[in-house]
Each structure stands twice: as C-alpha cells, then as structure tokens.
Amino acid sequence: MIEASRIPILKIKDFLVASIQVELYDKSAVLFKDNLLQRIYETKSKGLILDLTAVEVVDSFMGRIITEVGSMARLMGTMLVITGLQPAVAITLVELGLELEGVYTALNLEKGIATLERLIAEGEE
C-alpha cells in the first residue's frame, strides 16, 4: 500500500495538512485514514486540513472515509476541514446523495486555515 505512505502529512503550527495527489485504492484509503489519526495523536494537532484540489473522483467509498476521518478526528478533539473540492466532484457527490454532512469545507487551503482558526477559537471560548 505504497500510495497511502506517499501522501505527506505536514505539520504547520497547530495544524496538519495532507494533500491527496494520487488515485487512492480502497485499501490504501483505509490505511491513509489510520495514518492521519495516528499523526493527530502524535502531534497533538488541533486541526486537520484535507486538501482535495487534485482529486477528480470521490465515490461513496471515499466519501465515507472522509466523513469517518471527520468524526474520528472530532472524537480526538481535532477539527477537520476539507479544501479545494473541484466543482465536478461537488456535483457528483450531491447527485450520489453524499453531502459529507458534519464535515467543514473551505474553498482553498488559505480559507481552510482561517476556518480552522475560527473553529478552534470558538471551541476555546
């Protein structure tokens, strides 16, 4: 499952940023999810950004993985924000009936960081 380990998970300040640039097989997507949660635990990050700018297909399996990462991160006290969803991906997700409920989204990485900072500030009030 080389694909999952090829996705770098970078730490920037209190956040982790991972950008998916390869086609993920089902098994590597599951492994990637596990890697993300392990990195959250190790780095004690308050937020996670999953950048999907380069992703051309999100099917129901990948959609479920994303929703699960959001729920699992939240249980660990970390907020997930998805960034860079292509219009075609957003359209197919809604037509599929998958609206990634409970997952925060932002237009791009910069706005994603702003969203995370706001969510974390609200959480600390």
Partner 1 sequence: MPEERIVPVRSDLDIVTARVEGRELAKELGFGVIDQARIATAISELTRNIVQYAEEGQVTIRPIEDGGRTGIEVICEDEGPGIPDIELAVQDGYSTSKSLGMGLSGARRLMDDFEIESEIGMGTSVIVRKWLR
Q: Give 79-119 as a DSSP string.
A: EEEEE---HHHHHHHHHHT---TT-EEESSHHHHHHHHHHH
Q: Which helix (H) or strand (E) holds 70?
A: helix 60-75
Q: Which stretch, 11-19, 51-59, 99-107, 113-121, contacts partner 1 (CB under 8 A)?
A: 51-59
Residue 58 interacting with partner 1 (CB under 8 A): yes
Q: Using the rule CB under 8 A, which residue among 12, 54, 96, 107 binds partner 1?
A: 96
Q: At closest approach, how far in Å is the CB of 29 from partner 1? A: 9
Q: Hey, what amino acid is at 69? A: V
Residue 110, token pair as written in the block: 């910069």
Q: Using the rule CB under 8 A, which residue among 35, 43, 92, 105 binds partner 1?
A: 92
How far, in Å, CA of 10 to CA of 105, rounded?
19
Residue 101 interacting with partner 1 (CB under 8 A): no
Please report, as ranges, the residues that interact with partner 1 according to CB under 8 A: 23-27, 56-61, 63-64, 86-89, 91-92, 95-98
